[in-house]
Structure formats: C-alpha cells, structure tokens
Chains A and B, each alone.
Chain A
Amino acid sequence: MSPDTIYSSDSLSGDLIASVSDLKVYFQSKQGMVHSVDGVSFDIVDGEMMGLVGETGCGKSVTARAFMQLIQTPPGVLAGGSIHFKSQKQCKKCTGSGCDDCSNTGREIVDLLSLTERQIRELRGDRIAMIFQDPGKALNPGLTIRSQVAEVFQEHRESDVFERAGIADTMSGLTSYLLKQYVRQETNFITKLLLKFPPFSLARKKVDKAINGLVSDALAETQIPNANKIMERFPHELSGGMKQRVMIAQAIACNPDLLIADEPTTALDVTVQARVLDLIKDLQKRHKTSVLYISHDLSLVRRVCDRVAVMYAGKIVETGDAETIFINPKHPYTQGLIKALPSMTHERGKLEAIEGMVPELIEPKAGCRFASRCKQKKANCDKTDPELKAVSNKDKSHKVSCFLYE
C-alpha cells in the first residue's frame, strides 16, 4: 500500500474500496458559515474496518452522511473534495480488463459526491449501507419491521423477489406491469385496487410471501429469534438491541461493499453494546465487507477496527493502525483522548479530561483548531494550519497533523 498516491489522483489503488479526499462540508447559519468538515482525507481499504473517532460535533457523522449524499442542501454546502468509491460495475473504459482509470481493478470508480440522484440511489442500500446511531429514531415508528426491511429488497432485488416467488418466468403483460409497480412501490389508486382482486391478488400474494421469506432470512442473519413474528411488529414493540439488529439486517441485506456504522452502539445498554458490536464484527468478517465505524469511544474502536482516523473540529488530526495510535498517540488531542479513557493502567479516579471547549466552527481562522486547548501550543499553532504528514519515514501509514512533529 502506498498512501502517498491516494490524495492526488482520481483513482484508487487496488486494495482501496473508498477514498475521501479534502472533503469540505459547511452549513449555513444565521451567524455565518459553519465549517463542520473542513478538508478531511482518508481511505478505506477493501475488507478492513476503519474507525473514525472524535467528540460529538467534530464532523464525523457529517463525513459519514456525505458518503450517502444525505446532507441536506441547504443549509448544508458541499464546499469541495471528493469521495471515490469502487463500485461493482465494470469500468466503462476498459470493460473490466483493467486500465489506468480504474487502477487496473476493472471496476468503475465513481465520485460519490458528484453522482446524480438516480445513480446514488442505486448504490444506497445496495453497495453502501448505513447503520444509524439511534435505532429507535432510524426506524419509522409507523411501519412494521417487515415493510421496512422489505423495502431494501424491493428496491434492489426485484428479480430475486420474483424468482423466489417462482413467477419470474411466467409473468407477462399487465400482471408483470402491476407486480413491478407493486414491488417498486409505485402503485397508484387504480393499480392498488386492481391488485386487490384476482388474478392479480394471487400473484401479489406470492410476491408477498417471497418478500417475507427474504426479510425473515435477513433478520435471522442477525440472530433475531422468531424472525417471522418479529417482522410483524412495530419498532416501539422491540427492545433497543433488537431494533439495532433490525437496522443491521436491513443494512447488510444486499451484502454491501461498504457499511457505514454511525455510532451503532451508543444508544444501547452496555450489555447489549458488546453483543451488537460482536455481531457487526462477525458479519464483517463473514461477508468481507468494508466498514467505516464511527465512534466517540476510542477503546471500542481499538477493539474492532483495523485502522483509525481521529477527527477534531472538522479535521483529521491523526490516522494510522488502531494499535499504533492507541499505544503511541502523537497528536496532543489523541493523547488527551486516550488519557481520558478509564483503563487498567490508570488508577481509579484519575481520569484526565481535556480542558476547554471545542472551538466554534463558524468561519474559523487559520491555525490549528486544537490550539486553544493544547498544552504544548507553539507560536505558529495559531497562525497556520498544520498538515497531515507521516510521523516517520518508517511508518508511512501513521500520520499526524501537528507542528510538534515537523
């Protein structure tokens, strides 16, 4: 792996699934432009679990949402940068044989930020999936589990549905039209009415049954007991852990290449947290899915992630192997974070909090964002932005943006 090549090119090196480069996301507010994400760059290696760590409001969730084009504009503004992603499709130029454009992977590389609505929709839920922080809020309270999980299949696995229903070959004419409309949720008043009566209703029931089967399988995948019963329930009838399992089932239903997990365990009880985390880890290993794992909890990230990027106030301050960063943090902020962790090496009651507050991100001035809280602040920290650079020539993957290491 040669990380140096990543930033400048429009392509991805062979083993990367995604690469974020100089991502800038701002938000308009009455007081001015909030620089929530201000030049973030990192990559995700295919099959790895990448951690993105930082305090609340540091911009990590915004970064995650940018992958899915889920940032509302306005008030959000995509001020620059790109997120390249290696999709499943063949490269258009070389039709799979491998060329410069696709870094000889044969697969098309797209910039997620510049895709059209239709294009990104094809990826969402299919190639890139997302698990949200609070499953209680991320599930629609008014719909059954079944209908919510089913949507993924209806949207992306239409042919599977018909195949499973055993009517893929026999469909024709009006039935085909109606059922497709039904599966795509494009029915209107009239077609809905038609589907209530035979012969259409018979085919519809087959389709329903097929969808139920798919949903039930997906739920079972996440070790939900009694999947057939659970799927008729409404979200508020399930426990938090169960809801998150549903979310996960929904996310991995189409076996995505990249799973974005935005603090998937934060809203859960401590006991449940561990199990959900294990589940994610387990699934990731089995399906060889790449995961972008977002958390404010460094110790958690250390447990599950291969690599970590630490974010502070809209910027990446340090990135590298999870172990390396945990054992040998370079940036004063990372050091502070690790010191604040309760661990066996510290005595009880000696947790160190980082003093001060996260600076306001409205029209920030030049200079290190952490300067105001940094105990090792130097003169130029307030004046110029430090760049993210390799800590040493030996370990090029461990990078830090701090003048202490220049």
Chain B
Amino acid sequence: MQIRDYIIRRLLVLPVLIIGTSIIVFALTRIGGSPIGIYLSHEMNPAEVQEMKERFHLDKPVPVQYFYWIKGVTQGDLGWSGVASAPVVDVFPKKFAATMELAIAAGIVAVSLGIALGTFAGARRNKLADHIIRVVSVGGASMPLFWFAILLLIIFWVWLGWFPIGRSDPNLFEAIAHPTGFYTIDALLAGNFAAFRDAIWHLIMPAVALGYGATAIIARMMRSSLIEELQEDYVDAAKAKGLAERVVLKKHARRNALIPTVTVIGLTFGFLLQGTVVAEIIFRWPGLGRWMASAVLRGDQATIMTYVMFTSILFLIVNLVVDIIYANLDRRVVLGE
C-alpha cells in the first residue's frame, strides 16, 4: 500500500523532471548561440548560411524553436546530426545498443566483482586482503578513467597485443543479422560462435576500464554495509543457532548488506553512462558516448540535446526502478523523507 503510493508519487514527478530537463537542455544549447555552425563549412558565404538556417528553422525566435524541437521529438524527429551526417533518429538506435552493451558489460563486471570483493573484504575486516581491497577501491574512486583506459591501452594493446580495440571484427559481423544491436546477443542468435568470441574479446578491455570505478564504489559500499550488518544482533543470533560461518555470511548478512548496495548500483549506472564518453573515445567504441564527444567538439547541438535528454531520462528511470526495488527489498525502510 505504502509502496504503491510512493511509486505513484514518483511517477507523477517524473514528467515534471523530464520537462524541466528538456527546458534546461534546450536553454543551454541556445545560450551558446544558434546551432547552425555544424551545418556549415568554412567555405560557405553568408547567403548560403541564410539558406541553411531556413532549412533548419533556425531563423525563427528561440521559444518557437523550442516548440519545433518538442514537436519534432514527439513525432520522432530529433534533428539532423552534423557529426553522423544523418538524422539523429536513424543513427541513435544502433549507437544506443553499442553503448548499452558496453555499459551493461561494465555493469556486470562492476556488480559481480564489486559484491564479491566487498563481501570478501567485509568478512575479513582488517586482514591483509581487506586492506588490499580497500586500497584498490579507494583508488578506483579517484582514478581518472581517461588515464586508466590509456594505461590499459598501452599495456594490453600496444605492448602485449592481447586485446583489440573497436567493437568487432567487421568481417565477422557483416554476415550476421542484427536484430538486437547487441553484438554478443546477435552472434548467439545467429549461432556464430566465432563472432560471439570476437564480440566478447572486444568487450573485455573497455568493460574492465569502465567498470573499475563502479567496482570500487560497489565494493566500498558492500564492505561497509556488510561490516555494519555483521555487527547486528541477528548475526550473533544466527551464529547462536549453530549455523556455519558461510551460511551466516551468505544467507543472513550478505543478503541484508545487498540492500543498501542496490541504491549505490543505481547511482553507479549514471557513473557508467557518463564513463562511456571517455571509454568509447579511447577504445574506439562506436556508441553514443563517442558520438557525444565528437558532437561536443564539433558543436553538433541536435546530438548533444538528444544525448543529454536521453541519458537523463534513462538515469531517472533506472533510479526510480532501483528505489522501487529497494523499497521492496528492505522491509525496514520508511518511504519518503
């Protein structure tokens, strides 16, 4: 009952937040002047520029442009991306799939490794393993992704040549249908094991680089909440029942320690999402982040607007889902503030 009300309240606020975000995003792009630049070349003369402005409705007043934009968005027209040289809508799904594949892979790395390391450290508080894991996780939170990724690139690509860059071997993937856009899944659906292996191979380095920071955050949270849970009476009570240490840790303490960790995982998603910009630049991953980075450098405002809008909506929804999961998981939680 309580949870349902809470969810309804959150869902009602969601559109307000989305509209607010859209206004901020639009206002931002217009603060910097007209987005016409991306459609021009430095060899164009003013008359040609005027023609281009008319083509994109950029000769109209700014509020009118906002409505053109919103109207376009509702009709599935997100504008013309100068960077991709195509309508944003055409390019978006493929890039989105690429980014999500990377973010999810990194998320899997981060969640599984983070929880494992956090549990390991929390259960061995103040032992050597705990200290090592703590150093690694504090380091992860302070590690500039762009630097860590470059280090990986230097070591594993330039020096050792173990891992490739990019997303796939195009020769393998041309032959495969792309119903989902996730190369790993597409390869499996096509039953092409070589392609699947190739997709995984390309994923490892960027996913590890991207996942490290999130791993650190999750491990840290997991460790501290596990330590907190291990201080609880019910842990002693469970031990007093004669249960094995392993059962006490896994069935009792870890289960409850996971609950606060879930909220952190939600926040981590934002972290992963923004990390894709840097990871995709460095590992040459053809996703949204890389697109955004070129859009930023070349002033492609249709892309910037779409990207920021979309990631923030995604971020909002993920956090809403996480909150709902959290509310359902934690039977002690009191909703609202």
Contact = CB atoms under 8 A, between A and B. Distances in A.
A–B direct contact (CB < 8 Å): yes
Interface of A: 65, 68, 70, 74, 117, 121-126, 129-130, 132-134, 137-143, 151-152, 155-156, 185, 234-236, 247, 250
B241 interface: yes
A141 B243 contact: no
A142 B240 contact: no
A155 B243 contact: yes
Contacts of B259: 142
B236 A70 contact: yes
Residue of B236, B237, B241, B245 with most chain A CB atoms under a 10 A cut-off: B241
B252 interface: yes
A236 B331 contact: yes
Given A138-B234, A140-B252, A250 B245 contact: no
A222 to B, nearest CB: 16
B255 interface: yes
Main secondary structure on A side of the interface with B: mixed
Given A142-B331, A234-B331, A236-B331, A137 B240 contact: no
B42 interface: no
A124 B126 CA distance: 27
B251 interface: yes
B237 A139 contact: yes
Size bracket of the B interface: 20 to 34
B124 interface: no
Residue of A68, A138, A234 with most chain B CB atoms under a 10 A cut-off: A138
Given A137-B234, A140-B234, A140-B252, A152 B332 contact: no
A236 B232 contact: no
Contacts of A137: 232-234
Nearest to A251: B240
A236 B234 CA distance: 13
B328 to A, nearest CB: 11
B244 interface: yes
A152 B236 contact: no
A141 B332 contact: yes
B243 A151 contact: yes
B233 A125 contact: no
Contacts of B330: 141
Contact of A74 (B126, B243, B245, B252): B126
Residue of B233, B244, B252 with most chain A CB atoms under a 10 A cut-off: B233
Contact of B233 (A138, A155, A234): A138
B256 A141 contact: yes
Interface in B230-276: 232-234, 236-245, 247, 251-252, 255-256, 259
B152 to A, nearest CB: 31
Nearest to B232: A137
A201 B331 CA distance: 29
A156 B244 CA distance: 12
B240 A129 contact: yes
The 5 closest A-B pairs by CB, nearest first: A125-B242, A124-B242, A125-B241, A137-B233, A138-B237
Contacts of B244: 121, 185
Contacts of B256: 140-142
Contacts of B243: 121, 125, 151, 155, 185
A374 to B, nearest CB: 34
Contact of A141 (B239, B240, B241, B331): B331
A124 B244 CA distance: 11
B330 to A, nearest CB: 8
Residue of B233, B234, B238 with most chain A CB atoms under a 10 A cut-off: B234
B79 to A, nearest CB: 48
Contact of B237 (A126, A132, A142, A155): A132
21 contacts: A65-B236, A68-B236, A68-B240, A122-B242, A124-B241, A124-B242, A125-B241, A126-B242, A133-B233, A137-B232, A137-B233, A138-B233, A139-B234, A140-B255, A141-B256, A141-B330, A151-B241, A151-B243, A185-B244, A185-B247, A236-B332
A137 B234 CA distance: 6
A154 to B, nearest CB: 9
A140 B238 contact: yes
Given A130-B237, A155-B243, 20 more contacts: A68-B236, A70-B239, A121-B242, A121-B243, A124-B241, A125-B240, A125-B243, A132-B240, A133-B233, A137-B233, A138-B236, A138-B237, A141-B331, A142-B256, A155-B241, A156-B242, A185-B244, A185-B251, A234-B331, A236-B331
A301 B238 CA distance: 27
A154 B332 CA distance: 27
A137 B237 CA distance: 9
Contacts of A133: 233
B240 A117 contact: no
A161 to B, nearest CB: 15
Interface string B205-245: 00000000000000000000000000011101111111111
Nearest to B329: A142
B240 A130 contact: yes
Contacts of B239: 68, 70, 124
Given A138-B236, A234-B331, A143 B252 contact: yes
B122 to A, nearest CB: 13
Interface in B84-135: 126
B180 to A, nearest CB: 26
A121 B239 CA distance: 8
A76 to B, nearest CB: 12
B24 to A, nearest CB: 40
A357 to B, nearest CB: 26
A235 B238 CA distance: 14
B2 to A, nearest CB: 12
Contacts of B234: 137-141
B82 to A, nearest CB: 50
Nearest to B236: A70
Residue of B243, B256, B259 with most chain A CB atoms under a 10 A cut-off: B243
B247 to A, nearest CB: 5
Interface in B310-335: 329-332
Nearest to B234: A140
A301 to B, nearest CB: 22
Residue of A117, A122, A141, A142 with most chain B CB atoms under a 10 A cut-off: A142
B234 to A, nearest CB: 4
A152 B238 contact: no
Contacts of B233: 132-134, 137-138
Contacts of B126: 74
A35 B255 CA distance: 34
A247 B234 CA distance: 11
Contacts of B232: 137
A70 B234 CA distance: 12
Contacts of B251: 143, 185
